[in-house]
Structure 1
């Protein structure tokens, strides 16, 4: 005997309507506070900066002059040199922080004595003011009375003029920048390493993989998202560097350690506010033109893997 067909429901389920109108707008209200802060603290100041870069302005008056500020800025004889110095400084500090941050993260994630204390020591320079660190190392790098050259003199090495030699000034500041900022890179890499399942390492160990093979084929690929974050943050920081360079060298000797930010600050000091605002816009465009393609390249590699 065939089973009886089920009776139709007295209240059939409502038909789902198609279209975006059925989506609840309730979650969008949670975006309003963050969106409002984004508009207030980023969009409005950015748009205002673009406008004032087209004017000759003071605190009480402004005159629209079009692209004259940009023309003057690009005619500055210091511009090309400062742009090259900015790129060199960003490359040195970014590579240094990525490599040393990854090495320290692997070390501090291992089973070593006083691991918690060493983690705090590595991160401590991040908490100290860049101006304070710059002044301190300016004293330490003094070619005559500085502690570094005195220590080198004890072992028979004639210390160079770290901040007075045109060939060493920018690199010396970059080394201090790496020391100060490597803690953030280390922290991000440590978080990425902790997220890697231990099963992968155990399986590789059973298969006879060496330490280098485990690092090459497990750690490096799976720590990719952390690497992308570290590289992008450090490239942006390097391109926008100012505090350490200004407190340690002031852009000198001569103009050999001038970067875009220090050139822009000198325009502010001279009272050329519109010209310096145009310089800020140029630096914003340079940072965006470098970091956005870099981010997309990392994303494509992550998807390909």
Structure 2
């Protein structure tokens, strides 16, 4: 009887979290799934089944957003993982100005994403931008960073990496700082070089930080919208459209059912990839 009372007593502590989770996640998810199968407006709806999903995958302007989303998520994830780790290794070494460099690297993350997009749009202006001014000074022809369909998406990707690599670096610094110094001292006594220590000590024992950066960067890349919208608006054409920007355009055009289906697709894509990836990565972690 006492054990049952204790169980009921403990359940009351979970009740607020369960209620909030249900109101803010479960119920909206179910409602979104329902309306993704309808053509609706603010006053009525008409059931169309899976037609919205078929349209989303069959139309080029919608389908290209899915392709760009995967390119964007994969590229920003890889670059943040690699560059952030290199910065962290440098900033945990015995350089005198590491505190200043840490501040400089993390500073872009303090700026609004929209502000970053506007600033880099100006810097990448084909005729007046600073980037092309520098290239011209070096005798190199200017580049249409955001107007060339073949490089526009990658220009936005590099901007995203510039803004977000600071968070990855901070996570890595925390992970590397938690590694006992005894491991490095023992490896040095055995004659291990700095490179060998990096691959045999730092990376294995910093895997939890690496996994965190991978998951955060990947999900952030899959959901990206504000930077792309402020820099290119999805253009030129559909060259930089992602799922999120396509969803926004469909909402703005009044295709509410189609855009809701896009939200469901984005949620499913992230869930189907992120959860197995998270389980795989955590299974490879090494305890310090």
Structure 2 length-normalised TM: 0.93
Counterparts of 1:74 and 1:245, CA distance in 2: 21
Matched residue SS, 2:146: coil
1:89 aligns with 2:79: no
Does the 8 Å CA contact 2:73/2:221 hold for their aligned counterparts? Answer: yes
Larger mean CA deviation between 254-263 and 109-118 belongs to: 109-118
Counterparts of 1:70 and 1:76, CA distance in 2: 10
Deviation (angstroms), 1:114? 3.0
Deviation (angstroms), 1:39? 2.0
Gaps of 5+ in 2: none
Q: Would the alpha carbon gap of residues 282 and 20 (structure 1) be closer, same or farther in structure 2, given more than 3 Å must change?
A: farther
Matched residue SS, 2:284: helix
Does the 8 Å CA contact 2:207/2:286 hold for their aligned counterparts? Answer: no
Matched with 2:258 is 275
Counterparts of 2:89 and 2:169, CA distance in 1: 9
Q: Within 5 Å, give how 1:204-219 maps onto structure 2.
A: 204-219=187-202
1:201 aligns with 2:192: no
Larger mean CA deviation between 81-90 and 270-279 belongs to: 81-90
Gaps of 5+ in 1: 1-16
Matched with 2:56 is 73
1:297 aligns with 2:249: no
Deviation (angstroms), 1:287? 1.0
Which string of whole-angstrom CA distances, capped at 9 and with x for unpartnered residues, describes residues 145-170 of structure 1? 10110011111111211111111100
Deviation (angstroms), 1:296? 1.9
Superposed CA RMSD in Å reads 2.1
Matched with 2:245 is 262
Does the 8 Å CA contact 2:114/2:227 hold for their aligned counterparts? Answer: yes
Q: Highest CA radius of gyration, 1 or 2?
A: 1
Counterparts of 2:88 and 2:20, CA distance in 1: 34
Larger mean CA deviation between 47-56 and 27-36 belongs to: 27-36
Matched residue SS, 2:122: helix
Counterparts of 2:141 and 2:67, CA distance in 1: 30
Matched residue SS, 2:46: strand
Matched with 2:36 is 53
Q: Would the alpha carbon gap of residues 22 and 69 (structure 1) be closer, same or farther in structure 2, given more than 3 Å must change?
A: same
Counterparts of 2:219 and 2:180, CA distance in 1: 31
Q: Within 5 Å, give how 1:10-159 maps onto structure 2.
A: 21=4, 24-159=7-142
Matched with 1:224 is 207
Counterparts of 2:220 and 2:3, CA distance in 1: 41
Matched residue SS, 1:302: coil
Which string of whole-angstrom CA distances, capped at 9 and with x for unpartnered residues, describes residues 251-274 of structure 1? 111111111111111111111111
Larger mean CA deviation between 281-290 and 120-129 belongs to: 120-129
| Aligned residues between the structures | 288
Structure 1 length-normalised TM: 0.88
Matched with 1:12 is none
Matched with 1:3 is none
Deviation (angstroms), 1:121? 1.8
Q: Would the alpha carbon gap of residues 169 and 60 (structure 1) be closer, same or farther in structure 2, given more than 3 Å must change?
A: same
Counterparts of 2:6 and 2:13, CA distance in 1: 15
